[in-house]
C-alpha cells in the first residue's frame, strides 16, 4: 500500500496540475496552449509511470521488504506488486486521459469508462481469485486489466476527434513542467492525508483502546469510502467549471460554481453522516464488523462522522483555490490538514481529554484547518478576484 499510495499521490499531482492549467487556457480560448499543457502532462505521466513500473517489476522483493512485509506475507505481497506494476503505465495514462477529457467536454465518457472498468474489476476479482484460483496474482491482474480497459475507452475521444485535445510532438518546456507540478502540489499532498492519519490513529488506538479500537477504525475507514467518493467527485466535477470560468475572467460564473460546490459538499456530507448514524448497524456489518466489534463501532460512528461535514467544506475551498491558480494557499491548506494539524491533534487530544477523544480528532483537526482556510481565502480576495 505505501508503494501504491506513492504512485497515486504523484499521479494526482501531475493530473491536477496539468488539468488546472489546461482548463484556464480553454477558458481563454487558447487551443494551442491548452494542447501544449495536455501533451506535457501526458509525457510526464508516461515517464513517471515507466519509472514506477520498472521499480515494481525488477525490484519487487526489496520494495516489499522495505515497506514492511514480513515472512508471513512477503510472498503474497511480491506476487501482487509484480503483477500490479506491469499495468502501471496504462493505469497512469488512463488517469490522465480522464482528467483532461473531463475538461474537454466529455464527462459522460469519463463516467462510462469508470463504471465499466469498476464492473470489470469486480467481476475479474471474482473470476481470477475463486474459479481460476489465481490468488493475489489474480487480484492484481483484475485491477490492472480494468484500468487498461478504461484507457482504451478514453482513447475513443481522440479517435472520434471530439473536443480540442490532440496528441502530437512538443518541445519540452521546463517552466511549464514546473508550473504543472506546482499547481498539482495541493492534491499531491492531500494524498498523504490517509496514510499519515491512519498511522497516527492506529498508534493511539493500540496504546489507549486496544484491538477493538483498531478493528472499529478499520471498519469505519472502509465505510467512509462512499463519503470520499461524494466529496472528491464533486471537487473533480468543479475543477473544469472553475478553471474555465477563471480563464474567461467570468467572476459571476466563478462565484456561482464555488457556492454550488460548497452547497453540494455540505448537503452531501450531512446526508452521508445521517445515513451512517441511522443505519450504522447494517453498514458496519456490511463492511466487516464482527460480533465483538459491532456494538462498539456503531457507538463511535456519530463521534467520527461529524468530521465529514467539515472536511467537505475544506475540500471545496481547496478545489476553488487550486482551480483559480492560487496554489500557494491551496498547498498550505493541504499541508496543514494532511501532515501537520491532523497528526498533532490525533497524537495530543486523546492524551489530554481521554481515550474516547480519539474519535473526535477527525472533526477537530478539520475544523481548525477550516478556520485557517477561510482566513486564507478572505485574504486572497480582499481586493477582489485577481485574474492572471
Read out DSSP for 114-141? HHHHHHHHHHHHHHHHTTS--HHHHHHH
SS3 for 177?
helix
What confidence score (pLDDT) does residue 98 get? 92
**CB count in 10 Å sphere of residue 274:** 11
Give the chain's radius of gyration (CA, Å): 21
Q: What was the pLDDT predicted at 39?
A: 94
Domain ranges of the chain: 2-182, 192-380
pLDDT at 226: 77
The cell for 96 is 490522465
> CA–CA separation, 293 vs 273, rounded Å?
20
Asked whether the beta carbons of 4 and 144 are under 8 A apart, the reply is no
Q: What is the pLDDT of residue 151?
A: 95
The Cα 80–Cα 78 span in angstroms is 5
pLDDT of residue 112: 94
Cβ neighbors of 40 (< 8 A, separation 6 or more) are 18, 170, 172, 173, 176, 177, 180
**DSSP letters for 210-270:** -HHHHHHHHHHHHHTHHHHHHHHHHHHHHHHHHHHHHHTT-HHHHHHHHHHHHHHHHHHHH
Return the pLDDT at 125.
94
Q: From the CB of residue 104, how many other CB atoms can be counted at a distance below 10 Å? A: 24
pTM of the shown model: 0.82
What pLDDT is attached to residue 261? 92
pLDDT tens across the length of the chain (388 residues): 778 888 888 898 899 899 989 999 998 999 999 999 999 999 999 999 999 999 999 999 998 888 767 777 888 889 999 999 999 999 999 999 999 999 888 889 999 999 999 999 999 999 999 999 999 999 999 999 999 999 999 999 988 888 898 988 888 898 999 999 988 888 888 877 777 888 888 889 888 888 888 888 888 888 887 777 888 888 888 888 999 999 999 999 999 999 999 999 899 889 989 998 899 889 888 887 788 788 899 999 999 999 999 999 998 998 899 888 888 888 888 888 888 999 999 999 999 999 999 999 999 999 999 999 999 999 988 877 777 7
DSSP-assigned letter for residue 73: T
Separation of alpha carbons 350 and 54, rounded Å: 43
> Phi and psi dihedrals of 134, rounded to 5?
-100, -5
Helix (H) or strand (E) holding 351: helix 341-353
Amino acid at each position: 500500500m505505501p508503494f501504491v499510495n506513492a504512485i497515486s499521490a504523484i499521479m494526482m499531482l501531475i493530473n491536477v496540475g496539468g488539468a488546472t492549467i489546461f482548463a484556464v487556457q480553454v477558458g481563454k480560448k487558447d487551443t494551442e496552449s491548452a494542447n501544449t499543457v495536455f501533451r506535457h502532462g501526458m509525457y510526464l505521466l508516461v515517464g513517471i509511470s515507466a519509472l514506477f513500473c520498472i521499480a515494481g517489476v525488477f525490484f519487487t522483493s526489496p520494495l516489499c521488504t522495505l515497506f514492511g512485509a514480513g515472512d508471513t506475507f512477503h510472498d503474497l505481497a511480491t506476487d501482487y506488486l509484480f503483477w500490479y506494476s506491469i499495468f502501471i503505465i496504462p493505469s497512469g495514462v488512463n488517469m490522465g486521459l480522464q482528467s483532461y477529457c473531463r475538461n474537454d467536454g466529455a464527462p459522460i465518457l469519463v463516467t462510462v469508462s469508470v463504471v465499466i472498468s469498476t464492473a470489470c474489476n469486480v467481476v475479474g476479482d471474482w473470476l481470477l481469485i475463486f474459479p481460476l484460483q489465481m490468488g493475489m496474482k489474480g487480484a492484481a491482474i483484475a485491477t490492472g486489466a480494468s484500468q487498461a480497459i478504461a484507457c482504451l475507452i478514453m482513447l475513443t475521444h481522440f479517435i472520434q476527434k471530439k473536443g480540442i485535445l490532440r496528441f502530437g510532438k512538443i518541445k519540452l518546456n521546463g517552466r511549464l513542467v514546473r508550473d504543472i507540478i506546482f499547481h498539482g502540489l495541493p492534491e499531491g499532498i492531500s494524498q498523504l492525508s490517509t496514510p499519515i492519519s491512519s498511522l497516527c490513529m492506529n498508534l493511539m488506538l493500540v496504546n489507549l483502546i486496544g484491538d477493538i479500537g483498531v478493528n472499529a477504525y478499520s471498519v469505519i475507514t472502509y465505510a467512509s469510502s462512499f463519503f470520499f467518493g461524494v466529496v472528491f467527485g464533486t471537487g473533480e466535477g468543479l475543477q473544469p467549471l472553475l478553471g474555465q470560468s477563471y480563464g474567461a475572467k467570468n467572476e459571476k460564473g466563478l462565484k456561482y460554481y464555488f457556492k454550488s460546490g460548497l452547497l453540494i459538499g455540505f448537503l452531501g456530507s450531512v446526508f452521508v453522516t445521517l445515513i451512517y448514524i441511522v443505519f450504522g448497524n447494517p453498514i458496519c456489518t456490511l463492511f466487516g464488523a464482527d460480533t465483538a466489534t459491532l456494538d462498539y463501532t456503531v457507538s463511535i460512528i456519530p463521534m467520527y462522522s461529524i468530521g465529514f461535514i467539515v472536511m467537505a467544506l475544506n475540500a471545496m475551498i481547496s478545489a476553488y483555490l487550486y482551480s483559480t491558480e492560487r496554489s500557494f494557499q491551496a498547498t498550505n491548506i493541504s499541508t496543514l490538514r494532511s501532515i501537520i494539524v491532523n497528526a498533532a491533534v490525533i497524537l495530543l487530544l486523546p492524551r489530554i481529554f481521554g481515550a474516547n477523544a480519539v474519535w473526535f480528532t477527525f472533526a477537530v483537526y478539520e475544523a481548525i484547518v477550516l478556520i485557517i482556510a477561510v482566513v486564507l481565502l478572505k485574504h486572497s480576495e480582499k481586493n477582489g478576484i485577481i485574474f492572471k
